[in-house]
Amino acid sequence: MIQHDIIIIGGGLSGLRAALEAQRSGKSVAIISKVYPIRSHSGAAQGGINAAIGSDDSWEKHAFDTIKGSDYLADQDAVQVLCKDAPDTINELDTLGCNFSRDSNGNLAQRPFGGAAYPRTCYAGDRTGHNILHTLYEQVMRYGIKIYSEWLVTKLVIEDGQCVGCIAMNLLDSELEIFQSKVTIMATGGYGRIYARSTNALINTGFGISLAYHAGAELKDMEFVQFHPTTLWDTNILITEGARGEGGYLLNSENKRFMEKYAKDSMELAPRDIVARAIQQEINEGHGFEGDYVYLDLTHLGKDVINKKLPGIREISRNFADIDPIENPIPVQPGQHYSMGGICCDVNGKTKVPGLYAVGECACISVHGANRLGGNSLLETVVFGKRAGIDAAKFVDENTFSPTEQKLVEVLNDVKNDIQDIMDMDIDSSGSGSGSSSSNNESFAHLKDEVRSLMQEHVGIFRNEKGLKVALSKILELKEKSIRLNVVNMSKQYNLELVNTIELKGMIDLAHVITLSALSRTESRGSHYRTDHNKRDDNEWLKHTLVTKDEHGAPTIDYKNAVILDVMPETREY
């Protein structure tokens, strides 16, 4: 058994920032990460991080843009916290050595981003997440925080309603271990790989969110799934919003800047939900190239601007599309990018389960509402990661509950039995043996492809009742099939087939929750667009969706009013 005061599951930006702050409070802190921390998906964030540090900008203006961009579903008290803390957060990162880009006077450079009235996005070229990730990782190493790299957390341990730790599997040898803690912080990222087209890394299965769901936490606003407008055609690698922020144009097959039809004032810098729908609409109407992409044209920016401000985009385009954006436009299409919904928690990361916190993309603090503005996600990870670390340390000081060893061992044995069912055989210490050949068994690969195709086709940018019901019915069938999942690979060393099989069950659970939530919300708001209910309905739907698991294991929906302070809903025009 391994013991720490605070265990953080996930080694990305939010996890690292929470760990750093908790360690500064004098607590025993450890990070459990499925991959080496600097390989976390946070490093893929390109465009920038928002903060109102310009002389003509203010946190109030930042908050207004965030709330308006959210289609008025963001909780305004939480948004105020985010935007007030932003300038100090940037200054702290700068002091720690983050390599932010500068203007000619040596001040932090800021670029325009979609949905923002001011150029408030600080950036480090087009590798902003990469730079912040390495900066925080250096600090975690400086403080000597223990990191368990390449471990998969398989279950949270709940005793008397409180989270007291987790069970994790060492990928090196598939051995299970008990991790006991007074606080567990989920920082496991999003669930992009539930969709066929996603900018997310392969590790982003949403399994951490499903662990919290099965532990009794509420999932909030899961129907709101953001599709980034510009992902590289076919591979769906992210092409940063910063490319449009620097002046890139979107062109259809008629060589026209079509955004004038959809957002005549802001054009390519409208919020992401609007731009993504516009691109998909152009494609659906036959105005795309080869049927399923449009062009992002940077050629007019010139070689110097592209090499200085968008070098990563040039490298990606050349390596993965054999296109040099200095000379030719980039083929792009929308792809799943971000999850506004997640584990329901407050501004300090607390969930309804004592001892369980959540931060980052796996969490839903409701600062993004129905649509996230670019540049706010990196900000969220650092602002609320810090707050969660501080509050978790206080919880440790105030918490006197001690788990029983019997409960910890009981959950460990449950996990062992679950894995044994997947392996469907006895495995000796050498890992030898052969799997079952039963024709009733299911492979993870086939089921995973099915769920991803279903979500892409029926729970994507455009949705309707008929398609959502088709998806829901087939997801329930996949749930039944997932009971019979087994693996062929009997190796104990880095058995990724076993990892994928374990995580697939969580992916199907999340697909179920997302689809059910989308079917229940009979309006269009932000990223959730229903062709059969294509208007926003503030009278009925200015509220959050909450989903919990009932005693039979089925999702149950409830609702909670959005927090409205001084920004009243109005028509969202750009």
Residues annotated as catalytic are 272
Closest to 379 in 3D by CA, of 65, 14, 71, 11 = 14
What is the number of helices (H) and of strands (E) in the chain? 15, 21
For 422, the 3-state DSSP assignment is helix
Structure tokens at 229: 């407008």
Residues in CB range of 62: below 8 A, 6 or more apart: 50, 51, 52, 83, 86, 116, 120
CA distance 181 to 296: 49
* Bridge partner residues of 147 (DSSP): 31
Rounded to whole angstroms, how far apart are CA atoms 69 and 65? 6
Q: How many angstroms separate the CA atoms of 479 and 505, rounded? A: 8
Q: Which of 184, 146, 187, 161 is nearest to 28 (CA)?
A: 146
434 CB contacts (<8 Å, ≥6 apart)? 425, 490
Residues 6+ apart with CB under 8 A from 564: 72, 76, 542
CA distance 448 to 445: 5
Residue 465 vs residues 194, 471, 518, 534: alpha-carbon distances, Å: 20, 10, 9, 12
- Alpha carbon of residue 286 to chain centroid: 31
**The sheet that has 175-180: what strands, in order across it?**
2-3, 175-180, 162-170, 151-159
| Residue linked to tokens 């008397």 | 160
446 three-class SS: helix
Which of 198, 219, 237 lies closest to 506, judged by CA? 219
DSSP characters over 189-236: ---GGGSSSBSS-TT---HHHHHHHHTT--EE-TT-EEEEEEEETTT-
Query: For residue 180, what is the DSSP state?
Result: E
Torsion sign, CA atoms 251, 254, 259, 265: positive
Looking at the DSSP assignment, which residues form a beta bridge with residue 121? Answer: 50, 111
Report how far residue 288's alpha carbon sits from residue 248's, in angstroms, rounded to the nearest whole number: 17
CA distance 65 to 50: 11
State how beta strands 183-186 and 121-122 pair: unpaired
**What CA–CA distances, in Å, run from 546 to 343, 549, 553, 573?**
10, 10, 15, 28
Helix, strand, coil percentages for the chain (3-state, nearest 5): 40, 20, 40
